[in-house]
Structure 1
Amino acid sequence: MPARIPSWAWVGGLTVGAVAAVTVLAVRADHGPHPAAGAARPGASATASAHPSASAAPRTPAPPAVPAGTGTGRRVVYALAEHRVWLVDQGDAPRRTFTVWPGAVAPDPGTYGISRRLNATTGSDGVPIEHIVYFAAKSGVSVAFSNAVDGSSPAPAAGTRTGGIRMPKADGRALWTFTSVPTKVTVVR
């Protein structure tokens, strides 16, 4: 008579197999498409064409161009109305662009220099933040780019005067790596 495998061994083996399967699926999901800021909201409808095009591959729209009149050379460009930032290299080529969530206090249009960088702290709204890049002040409020440690994008609390311009974690890391004191920041309407 063959030896019986104890039930704890079966449970352990099944657990290891389940963890391995979940890990494989997580890695595959991480390499798949990710939603972007400004993506369609749940419940939005799309109209399908009655005549599909010959090309089945979806076209990715070109990123918005850097606004005109923002200067030359290595700089960060922040468009207030678009809630968008561009990282522009020395040759005036945009290296990255992304949307941001502005604070309650917006900087005036103009050209600034990054005055200070801080790896991590707690924002004036009580949220732990990182990659803080200060570049302006208005009415006694410091204005800085940052990202929440947990990746959240909370709206400023009503009546709170915050100058934090929040962004997704990956964009916060990119801006942190791209900038130093006194990298130029150009703010446009």
Structure 2
Amino acid sequence: MPAQRRLSPWVWVTTLTVVAVAVVAFLAVRADQAAQPKPTASASPSASASPSAPAAVPNDSGTGRRIVYSLSQRRVWLVDSGKDARRTFTVWPGSVSPLPGTYTVTFRNASATGYDDVPIENVVYFSTRSGVSIAFSNAKDGSSPSPDPGVETGGIRTRTADGAAIWDFGSTGTTVSVVE
């Protein structure tokens, strides 16, 4: 019987490392896809505020450079500092909303697929609630979301131009203030 050749320890370590990295990458992609937005039927945003009459930034939204998201108004403000917004617009919220409070942009993804199988882009994550990731994003084709109240999603869908504005403004570490 011929002698069996043993593999050296570095071969085992390298193989296990490659497998572990592949598993983590796979799980990250799955988690990202699971966190994609699909707003509920109750959301019906109006057109973005005109530059001549922007909606006022909520008083209880903090200070400094931040993204402000109002749950009741379904509106976002991009604020450089103080009370003056660079831009404001309405959004379609997901079925899982963040609690009022202060958060930080933790992760960004240039493109993915939403729960509604629509390609999305400009995904800016800032919170989780009940195991659901909460993020801003927009559909690549500019479509508005189709309602599916049976799916839990923390996606906050925007129009294309508004999604690009959040992407440009909301780098990792940017403050997100959620108000009632």
Q: TM-score normalized by structure 1?
A: 0.67
- Matched ranges for 1:47-126 at <5 A: 62-126=53-117
**Alpha-carbon separation, structure 2, partners of 1:180 and 1:97:** 17
Structure 1 position 90, deviation (Å): 3.2
Give unpaired runs (5+ residues) of structure 1. Answer: 1-36, 40-58
**Alpha-carbon separation, structure 2, partners of 1:131 and 1:159:** 25
Conserved? CA contact 1:156–1:162, under 8 Å: no
Conserved? CA contact 2:80–2:86, under 8 Å: yes
| Aligned position for 1:185 | 176
* Cα distance change on mapping 1:65 and 1:122 into 2, 3 Å: same
Percent identity between the aligned chains? 59
Q: Does 2:129 correspond to 1:132?
A: no
**Alpha-carbon separation, structure 1, partners of 2:59 and 2:146:** 29
Conserved? CA contact 2:136–2:158, under 8 Å: yes
* Amino acid of the structure 2 residue aligned with 1:185: V
1:38 is aligned, of 46, 61, 65, to 46
2:142 is aligned, of 134, 145, 151, to 151
Conserved? CA contact 1:125–1:162, under 8 Å: no
Structure 1 position 157, deviation (Å): 1.1
| Aligned position for 1:9 | none
Q: TM-score normalized by structure 2?
A: 0.70
- Higher CA-based Rg: 1
Which one is further off, 131-140 or 88-97?
A: 88-97
* Cα distance change on mapping 1:60 and 1:110 into 2, 3 Å: closer
Over the residues paired in the alignment, what is the CA RMSD in angstroms? Answer: 1.7
**Alpha-carbon separation, structure 2, partners of 1:78 and 1:155:** 21
**Alpha-carbon separation, structure 2, partners of 1:124 and 1:60:** 33
| Aligned position for 2:160 | 169
Structure 1 position 38, deviation (Å): 2.2
More strand by share: 2
